[in-house]
Homo-oligomer: A and B are copies of this chain.
């Protein structure tokens, strides 16, 4: 599995570099800012999920790379904009200065904007068929838009500005579902789409993404409240400093741990139908999805 994952990550890095080699007409200061954020050291979790989902459903890796890179571009743009002074005002990301600290605020806003356009351009111009391209654009735009990632971030900001939600548990779940979960679910659904998966397989993978996304966010909240800044590479304790709702604030640390474990279990259960395949690639991709979910529970170490 390690060599499979290493190969996959290399394929993703190579494709990200290729799809972000900017055409004539792109100013160098903009290209630099875009590539600084997109190509920064990262786990490449979302593109990895797209490709693994595609291969699990019998699709080809090369066919999945455009959608996989697009989801990472959306992720990178969202980090740039979330870090802006008017938003979370962060100066450190993945152990490096954030985009606006390094390139200025105007360039950072524009780099985010251009990365979003590049995501949809990459899918539209490189997908294996127009039908897959249109499907993936719809899936990703839905997930990235006002009822998905951006909607979650908008409500998150509202809370920072002093809004007190009447039902904290439900409010937080809805923020997590949109702000983090929607893009992770879309990563998996695009993988299914690229592979021409049937409705049943697609629903399985979306459900895995739903539970995986929740486990991811709960473990992120646990990390924020008890992780080590140097190891994690970003500023921590922000939730408690800013008096913001988080899973650990609302539910306590012990319940957060057990909720994360339950979400991981539900994610793995969602893809039961893919268990024990005869095909070697399908077997390893199934194992990757299981181990990626289980790995979330180790994030605190």
Please list the residues of chain A having a beta carbon within 8 angstroms of any beta carbon in chain B.
22-27, 29-31, 34, 77, 81, 84, 86-87, 104-107, 109-110, 112-114, 116-118, 120-121, 123-125, 127, 129-131, 133-135, 137-138, 141-142, 144-148, 150-151, 153-155, 157-158, 161, 174, 178
Task: List residues of chain B with CB within 8 A of the CB of A25.
Answer: 146-148, 151, 174, 178
Shortest distance between the CB of A228 and any CB in chain B (Å): 29
Instruction: Take A27-B151, A134-B134, A157-B110 as given contacts and tell me if A105 and B124 are in contact as well, using a CB distance cutoff of 8 Å.
Output: no
Task: List residues of chain B with CB within 8 A of the CB of A34.
Answer: 146
Chain A to chain B contacts (Cβ below 8 Å), 8 pairs: A77-B113, A86-B109, A114-B151, A120-B137, A121-B138, A124-B137, A133-B133, A137-B137
Query: Once bound together, how far apart are the Cα atoms of A133 and B30, in whole Å?
Result: 28
Tallying the copies of this chain within the complex gives 2
Label chain A's interface by main secondary structure.
Answer: helix
Query: Once bound together, how far apart are the Cα atoms of A28 and B86, in whole Å?
Result: 19
Which residue on chain B has the smallest CB distance to residue A153? B110
Query: Once bound together, how far apart are the Cα atoms of A195 and B123, in whole Å?
Result: 22
Most buried by B among A77, A109, A142: A109
Question: Are A117 and B144 touching (Cβ within 8 A)?
Answer: yes
Instruction: Take A26-B146, A106-B86, A151-B114 as given contacts and tell me if A134 and B130 are in contact as well, using a CB distance cutoff of 8 Å.
Output: yes
Contact of A141 among B29, B104, B117, B174 (CB under 8 A): B117
Most buried by B among A107, A134, A146: A146
Task: List residues of chain B with CB within 8 A of the CB of A130.
Answer: 129-131, 133-135
Question: Are B29 and A154 touching (Cβ within 8 A)?
Answer: yes
Question: Are B137 and A30 touching (Cβ within 8 A)?
Answer: no
Which residue on chain B has the smallest CB distance to residue A129? B130
Task: List residues of chain B with CB within 8 A of the CB of A30.
Answer: 146, 150-151, 154
Query: Once bound together, how far apart are the Cα atoms of A107 and B163, in whole Å?
Result: 14
Shortest distance between the CB of A196 and any CB in chain B (Å): 13
Query: Once bound together, how far apart are the Cα atoms of A146 and B157, in whole Å?
Result: 28
Additional 17 contacts, C-beta under 8 A, given A27-B155, A113-B116, A114-B154: A23-B146, A24-B147, A26-B147, A27-B158, A29-B158, A86-B105, A107-B154, A110-B150, A114-B150, A117-B144, A120-B141, A127-B134, A130-B133, A130-B135, A133-B137, A134-B134, A137-B137
